[in-house]
Chain A
Amino acid sequence: DAKTTQPTSMDCAEGRAANLPCNHSTISGNEYVYWYRQIHSQGPQYIIHGLKNNETNEMASLIITEDRKSSTLILPHATLRDTAVYYCIVRNRAAGNKLTFGGGTRVLVKP
């Protein structure tokens, strides 16, 4: 599985957009980029995923660079409830669909 690199932590102001970067320079052509978050010590929660194109859903937007070596998760209007650890994961369907978690980015949304 491709390794991902994320900043350890970041702060964000409530109501502003939060942009979370992720590097995955060794990603291969059939690997998807997934984002999950973990609030406190709950089970991880799915946010969004993509292969090549940018994606948007009710929670967030995912921007993947053309060379697919990096991506950015955008939370358009951060709220205090978005405070969590965010994990960027590259998943290889051929390898048991395993989700390999790194250290993630600890996001603190401040009032």
Chain B
Amino acid sequence: NAGVTQTPKFRVLKTGQSMTLLCAQDMNHEYMYWYRQDPGMGLRLIHYSVGEGTTAKGEVPDGYNVSRLKKQNFLLGLESAAPSQTSVYFCATQTDTGQDRGYFGPGTRLLVL
């Protein structure tokens, strides 16, 4: 039981390059979330999904796209990376009961030059 895993752990991109971050969970949770955390700041919600095949925008969705083709995976894409997207990205999952704790992944550190 791995919980929530994120791939890759660290990545360096040049401005304009694209990449996809993968979040995988083995807990059969319905809800999945992508957050970003800039230095000294709290986490901000980018996009989230309440089930397979569904996605919704969070607080800071611009410049990102997401897909939830399989229940266990939530992909975050950057089509054209910008230095402002340098951040640590966290994935989280939870059940749909409303009382469940959230489970967070270890984070992906992204540097855009």
Residue B69 is within 8 A (CB to CB) of chain A in the complex? no
Contact residue among A34, A41, A87, A96 (Cβ-Cβ distance under 8 Å from B88):
A41
Contact residue among B35, B101, B107 (Cβ-Cβ distance under 8 Å from A49):
B101
Contact A96 B99 (CB under 8 A): no
| Contact residues of B between 30 and 63, Cβ < 8 Å to A | 31, 33, 35, 41-45, 48, 50, 56, 58-59
Contact B101 A46 (CB under 8 A): yes
Count of chain B residues near A, Cβ 8 A: 28
Query: How big is chain A's contact interface, by range?
Result: 20 to 34
B: which residues have CB within 8 A of A?
4, 31, 33, 35, 41-45, 48, 50, 56, 58-59, 88, 90, 92, 94, 96, 98-99, 101-107
A: which residues have CB within 8 A of B?
32, 34, 36, 41-46, 49, 87, 91, 93, 96-104
